[in-house]
Structure 1
Amino acid sequence: MPSPVTLADVASSAGVSSQTVSRVLNNHPSVRPGTRQRVMAAVTALGYEPNLAARSLASGSSGTVGILLAASLSHGMSEIFAALARAVHDHGSEFILATADGTDPASVTAALAHLRGYRVGSIVVLAQRTDVLAVLSTQRDQDRIIVVISGQHAFASLRTVGIDQALGERLATQHVLDQGRRRLLHITGDLAWQDATERLSAYQAVCAEAGVPGRWIGTDAWTGETGARVARRLLESGLPDAILAANDDIALGVCHELLAAGVRVPDDVAVVGFDDIPQARWSTPSLSTVIQDFDMLGRQALALTAEALDGGSPESMTLTPELVVRDSSRP
């Protein structure tokens, strides 16, 4: 196996010093255009790949952002991760990714240590459970950690950014109540997730305020099959006149089974989802849902990294969701 090309090899090929090669690779303004062109030609010809990890360690610190994925890649988390990656790229920075099991404190701690080994300037944690926050709140460098998580929490020492899940569910529930529907049902996602518990609590609160039963069915997944399975049970036991699903996949599964059984949506049963996945607007009927601006969430998370590096006080930022009414619940 051939030895990797070194910085010294590039310097020898280009007829310059190793320090000059380093300046070229770091875009130092003092390098003459002709020298820069000669060095880059040698880099290309030799296939040199700089050791970015070693460079970060040598500098003692870096503007690189660490991203810790302590959650499964659901639609929302994958969108947030993509938005964060785009924001880092647009900012001219780079990121290093680590993963952890959000249910295992030791896994989260090990992943944080891995990112610190690269001397990252800040760490953005994508989480779905408040268990992760408990681990993060004990870290010595928690002032450099930004957490993307939904819902309320009691960890004032952490910088967090999220979308107001309770408001989104309130908007959806009030929407069907305003149509005079009174036999409501909420289908939860996995209640181990902060998103699911926040949405369920908000639904129950709105129902209590309206004086109607806040009936709900708990599930352990967020899939279309989960929604279809609940719908089959409802066809046997009796249908509500409105279903508030904890996400769009569940809602689409519900719609599929109800329509196949001859139930009219929304005439007999109105259905509202949560998230606005791409299929929501193209389904038949098109799905009413709560829109979450995941792109803005990713960009705000990156903005908080700058505040963390500046030493500002920890703060929580909450974005506002929006209800979009489509055919599945249109009055």
Structure 2
Amino acid sequence: MADIAARAGVSQATVSRVLNGRPGVAAATRERVAAAVAALGYQRLTVPQARPAGLVGIVVPEIDNPVFPALGQALGAALVARGLTWALLSQGPAGLDEDQCTTTLIGHGACGAVLVSGLHADLSADASRYALLRERGLALVTVGGWRPAAGVPSFSADEREGAVQALRHLVRLGHRRTGLLVGPAHYVTTARKTAAFRSAHRAVLGADPDPALVAGGAFGLGGGREAALRLVAAGATALLCGSDLTALGAIEAVRSRAPRPAP
């Protein structure tokens, strides 16, 4: 206000009255103050009319996989549209684990959390933690890997329909031996994708798939490379991958085996 007052040739009290829309200031004086504000490049902060309805945390396994930040951004936009604020929390070796993330959210007064591909999808993890979180007032939704024992609303892809569409496409391209790459056996998503693949294989090709054409392994590029090599060795001519990073690893493995053109 001192800078504006000096440039407009008025007192700071006058500047305050103008900026706050109070009466008792001549029109010409108001114009000088407004011109001084514009010349100095100041902008008034807009005070929100209403406080956000609450904080919702979006907890993802990692941010190295670009799928998770993109999903977090989409979820965040939906939350903001409903008057909520949101925070993205990442797990992984350099971050918190899921329990630490939810404890942090409760400590900051969060009203809810969206858990993406978390412990709810891991059959080796204790699902009773979610009942305890609900008792502490944290509303929960899970994404990926629906698990009835968690007792919370959940959203997942239609695995069977996806497998049917993928196999139909590959059959049109002439493939009859499609391999499936999935994650570790103790994850709900692995069981769902495997069951969907088998069901779709019967629906599209009229028979169960060769057991050798289903390979589980670690999530990520390395797991995709290793599983793809096993499936190709088993005679797979096409690959259906359970995640984008697994697919990238599979592509690398297949390209490494491709014959190089003659110089």
Question: TM-score normalized by structure 1?
Answer: 0.50
Counterpart position of 2:26: none
For residues 137 and 156 of structure 2, what CA distance do their matches in structure 1 show? 18
Q: Does 1:255 align with 2:251?
A: yes
Name the SS of the counterpart of 1:221 in structure 2.
Answer: coil
For residues 244 and 177 of structure 1, what CA distance do their matches in structure 2 show? 12
Q: Is the 8 Å Cα contact of residues 151 and 166 (structure 1) preserved in structure 2?
A: no
Q: Residues 127 and 181 of structure 1: is their aligned pair in 2 closer, same or farther, counting only changes over 3 Å? A: closer
Q: Residues 83 and 193 of structure 1: is their aligned pair in 2 closer, same or farther, counting only changes over 3 Å? A: farther
**Given the alignment, which residue of 110, 113, 117 partners 1:123?**
113
Q: Does 1:183 align with 2:186?
A: no
Tell me the alpha carbon deviations over residues 16-73 of structure 1, each in whole angstroms, 9 at most, x when there is no partner.
xxxxxxxxxxxxxxx95459xx9xx9xxx9xxxxxxxxxxxxx9xx622221415233
**Given the alignment, which residue of 68, 75, 86 partners 2:66?**
75
Counterpart position of 1:54: none
Counterpart position of 1:149: 143
Counterpart position of 2:48: none
- Point out the more displaced range, 188-197 or 239-248: 188-197
Q: Residues 252 and 107 of structure 1: is their aligned pair in 2 closer, same or farther, counting only changes over 3 Å? A: closer
- Structure 1, unpaired ranges of 5+: 1-13, 16-30, 46-58, 264-331
Q: Residues 75 and 248 of structure 1: is their aligned pair in 2 closer, same or farther, counting only changes over 3 Å? A: same
State the 1:240 CA deviation: 1.6
For residues 97 and 246 of structure 2, what CA distance do their matches in structure 1 show? 30
Letter in 1 for 2:225: A
Counterpart position of 1:220: 218
Counterpart position of 2:240: 244
Counterpart position of 1:211: 207
- Structure 2, unpaired ranges of 5+: 1-11, 14-18, 24-32, 43-50
Tell me the alpha carbon deviations over residues 79-105 of structure 1, each in whole angstroms, 9 at most, x when there is no partner.
21121233344555422455567xxxx
Q: Is the 8 Å Cα contact of residues 190 and 221 (structure 1) preserved in structure 2?
A: yes
For residues 20 and 71 of structure 2, what CA distance do their matches in structure 1 show? 41
Letter in 2 for 1:154: P
Q: Is the 8 Å Cα contact of residues 123 and 145 (structure 1) preserved in structure 2?
A: yes
Counterpart position of 1:11: none
Name the SS of the counterpart of 1:220 in structure 2.
Answer: coil
Aligned length: 217
For residues 137 and 242 of structure 1, what CA distance do their matches in structure 2 show? 42
State the 1:211 CA deviation: 0.8
Q: Residues 169 and 63 of structure 1: is their aligned pair in 2 closer, same or farther, counting only changes over 3 Å? A: same
Q: CA RMSD in A?
A: 4.4
Q: Bigger relative contact order, structure 1 or 2, given CA contacts below 8 A and separation 6+?
A: 1
Q: Is the 8 Å Cα contact of residues 68 and 123 (structure 1) preserved in structure 2?
A: yes
Letter in 2 for 1:228: R
Correspondence 1:1-331 to 2 at 5 A: 32-33=20-21, 63-69=53-59, 71-73=61-63, 74-98=65-89, 108-130=98-120, 131=125, 134-141=128-135, 144-155=138-149, 157-177=151-171, 181-209=175-203, 210-214=206-210, 215-223=213-221, 225-233=222-230, 237-262=233-258
Name the SS of the counterpart of 1:175 in structure 2.
Answer: helix
State the 1:141 CA deviation: 4.2
* Higher Cα Rg, which structure: 2
Letter in 2 for 1:159: P
Tell me the alpha carbon deviations over residues 293-316 of structure 1, each in whole angstroms, 9 at most, x when there is no partner.
xxxxxxxxxxxxxxxxxxxxxxxx
Q: Is the 8 Å Cα contact of residues 68 and 124 (structure 1) preserved in structure 2?
A: yes
Q: Residues 161 and 228 of structure 1: is their aligned pair in 2 closer, same or farther, counting only changes over 3 Å? A: closer
Name the SS of the counterpart of 2:156 in structure 1.
Answer: strand
For residues 97 and 159 of structure 1, what CA distance do their matches in structure 2 show? 20
For residues 134 and 231 of structure 2, what CA distance do their matches in structure 1 show? 51
For residues 89 and 119 of structure 1, what CA distance do their matches in structure 2 show? 17
Q: Residues 166 and 138 of structure 1: is their aligned pair in 2 closer, same or farther, counting only changes over 3 Å? A: farther
For residues 108 and 228 of structure 1, what CA distance do their matches in structure 2 show? 28
Q: Is the 8 Å Cα contact of residues 143 and 159 (structure 1) preserved in structure 2?
A: no
